[in-house]
Chains A and B, each alone.
Chain A
Amino acid sequence: MQSKTPENNTSSFWRITSIGLLVTSIVAALLFMLTRQYVIHQAEKNIQNLMLSHRGIHQYIQRTMHPTFYGLRDRGEVPDTFYAPEIFSSSFIVRTQHRYYNEERKAAGLPELYYKMAATNPRNPVNMADPLEAKLIKYFNDHRDKKNYREIVKIDGTKYLYYAMPFLLTAERCLTCHGKREDAPLGLQALYPGEGGFNEKAGVYRAIESIRAPLEEEYTAVYIIVAALLSGFLVIQFLVFFNNRLHRKVAIRTKELEMENGERIKAEEALRQLNIELEDRVNERTIALAAANKELDSFAYSVSHDLRAPLRGIDGFSLALMEDYSDQLDNTAKDYLLRIKSGCTKMGLLIDDLLKMSRLSRGELNKEQLDLTSMAREISASYQAQHADHEIDFTIAPDMTATGDPTLVRAVLQNLIENACKFTSKKSEAKIHIGIDTTKSPRQYFIKDNGAGFNMEYADKLFTAFQRLHKATDFPGTGIGLATVQRIIHRHGGKIWAESKENAGATFFFTLTMEPQAKRTSAPNGEKNER
């Protein structure tokens, strides 16, 4: 039995598909997040590098160029009034340097990076901090452990990475130019008339530097990586799904096969059980039959002894009377004694025939190939020898063969032939034909005579024990012969019947095997022993 209906299969397909989609979405989201984080981290590193490179230039200006310049000035090699932002202002220099850097990038086909130094109190208004930058300056001053700030911003639909660092902490030496106005170099004072950039204090961050870089390429990279990983994942998922399906199919089929196998084993077991039961029953029957046969045996034995012994007494003493007291008996008494003796003889024959019938229908059938022609010749010759006064014209077909028990089949032939002899005994030209009809299947044997025959009206009584169709005075007999013959033929699986007309002879037909359709059950060569 199939445990899965098609509907079940469909619903399970959709369940699995939806679970797959959900898992895929979660994995895609995770992949996207991780990849973006990684890519942005890389972008941040690049910006940080650039920023640190800029800081290197700031440091160089402040810690190498400025002391060199002050040394030259102190030795009077440059005038006190000299000041040029192109040489002194690190913000100016780095901003300009960054402009050149962008030009180089542009030439190389790379997007420009926006750079700004922002201060709340700048000397040059281009460096003026917007409110966010001002907030960041305050933030870095308030949280000295924070070294940078980053944020992804969207401007005109394009995403940018915004990266900011506090500018170099204002040192004592910086106050030369950023302290009080009157302390600053004269050239500087002359160049910047306002208060911007003055009155600063040491130990604070007075500015931030920031770079803003477009993230277009990075996002493209994220999408490509995510797509690649996701398609890989989908392929794996697909493989896993079909593998599972395959596994499930195999499992279902295996289970089905196991069940089929189980059912077959059960059926076989039942069949075996049935066979055992049948065998047991056959054995029981066989034992019962054997017992019944044994009982019959002992019954026949008793009959043979116990019925015959008194009969012998009657016969013997009747004769003794006749012989020893004949002078005291009149003719009537002698006639009575003769009748007694005749009765004894008949009863003796009857007992003998009964015993013969019982014996012939018991015991095993030992089937073998038989030569019926020879048997018939022997029987007829023997009869002829014993009844020289009754001449019979025998016609015996050659090459008549049969399969059967030799003793029993001989008894059949003997009975039928002797019957034919008996009923032709009053014919002057007695003829008996023993033949075979091989055109019939199974082949039919027949014994045909031209004797007294019988009325077909009584044909059904022919084979019944003690039923006689003729007066005993006409044809003597016990009425058991044909009953015995029929029993023997039935035991061989054959049939016997007769056709006749009164005073026009009789023909007895018999077969020795079963009807053709049942023929398979008997051994083809006839060598098989049957019970």
Chain B
Amino acid sequence: MKGKVILLVEDNPDDEMLTLRALRQNNIMNEVVIARDGAEAIDYLFGQGNYADAPIILPQVILLDLNLPKFNGFEVLEIIRADPRTQTLPVVILTTSNEDKDRMESYSLGANSYIQKPVDFKQFSEAIRQLGIYWLVLNQYP
């Protein structure tokens, strides 16, 4: 059973705060679980490490940064897509990079969406709003 949880994988506390703020501003009130590196995200998804005692609540959508300590975003994505338990989870890459290379690799590893974080907060907020509407409201899950 899926909860309405959003998993935000983000190591930059500023970006974390701004993302949360953008979510709230756009009235997305879902619970947001924050993982500050790739390993923590994996622990959360598979109920291991710090999350060994908690029941697994798979997120509705994963907002995944690429530049991460320990496992980077690509590695996390690869692990998610390799495991039958998590392979259908929607993953939105949310990154500063607008390199073609990163975009191509993200999609080829099975990302559902790729969003470059704009510098302008208004634009950023707008992007968050749209992905919230799409992934949390409109999208039909398998």
CB <8 Å contact, A301 and B120: no
* A:301-334 near B, CB below 8 Å: 301, 304-305, 308-313, 315-320
Q: What separation, in Å, do the CA atoms of A143 and B20 have in the docked complex? A: 157
Inter-chain contacts of A305 with B (CB < 8 A): 67, 95-97
Residue B21 interfacial (CB < 8 Å): yes
Residue B87 interfacial (CB < 8 Å): no
Mask of B94-123 contacts with A, CB within 8 angstroms, 1/0: 011111000000000000000001111110
Residue A344 interfacial (CB < 8 Å): yes
Contact with B14, one of A317, A345, A355 (Cβ below 8 angstroms): A317
Residue B15 interfacial (CB < 8 Å): yes
Closest to A307 in B: B96
Residue B79 interfacial (CB < 8 Å): no
Best-buried of A304, A309, A310, A347 by chain B (most CB within 10 Å): A309
CB <8 Å contact, A312 and B97: no
Q: What separation, in Å, do the CA atoms of A304 and B119 have in the docked complex? A: 11
Residue B29 interfacial (CB < 8 Å): no
Q: What separation, in Å, do the CA atoms of A310 and B96 have in the docked complex? A: 11
Residue A348 interfacial (CB < 8 Å): yes
CB <8 Å contact, A308 and B99: no
Mask of B108-142 contacts with A, CB within 8 angstroms, 1/0: 00000000011111101000000000000000000
Best-buried of A301, A309, A316, A318 by chain B (most CB within 10 Å): A316
A130 to chain B, nearest CB (A): 138
Mask of A334-358 contacts with B, CB within 8 angstroms, 1/0: 0000000000110110011001000
Inter-chain contacts of B67 with A (CB < 8 A): 305
Contact with B119, one of A308, A317, A320 (Cβ below 8 angstroms): A308
CB <8 Å contact, A312 and B98: no
The interface on chain A, measured as residues whose beta carbon lies within 8 A of the other chain's beta carbons, has a size of: 23
Inter-chain contacts of A309 with B (CB < 8 A): 12, 14-15, 96
* B:1-33 near A, CB below 8 Å: 12, 14-15, 17-18, 21
* A:451-487 near B, CB below 8 Å: none
Inter-chain contacts of B15 with A (CB < 8 A): 309, 312-313
Q: What separation, in Å, do the CA atoms of A360 and B80 have in the docked complex? A: 34
Q: What separation, in Å, do the CA atoms of A311 and B120 have in the docked complex? A: 9
Inter-chain contacts of A351 with B (CB < 8 A): 119
Q: What separation, in Å, do the CA atoms of A313 and B97 have in the docked complex? A: 16
A249 to chain B, nearest CB (A): 73
List 4 additional contacts besides A309-B14, A312-B124; criterion CB under 8 Å. Answer: A308-B96, A316-B17, A317-B14, A348-B118
Closest 6 CB pairs of A and B: A348-B119, A313-B14, A316-B121, A316-B18, A319-B121, A305-B96
Point out residues on B near A: beta carbons under 8 Å: 12, 14-15, 17-18, 21, 67, 95-99, 117-122, 124
Listed A/B pairs (28) with beta-carbon separation below 8 Å:
A304-B96, A304-B97, A305-B67, A305-B95, A309-B12, A309-B14, A312-B18, A312-B96, A312-B117, A312-B118, A312-B121, A312-B124, A313-B14, A313-B15, A313-B18, A315-B119, A315-B120, A319-B121, A320-B18, A320-B121, A344-B119, A344-B120, A345-B120, A347-B119, A348-B118, A351-B119, A355-B98, A359-B99
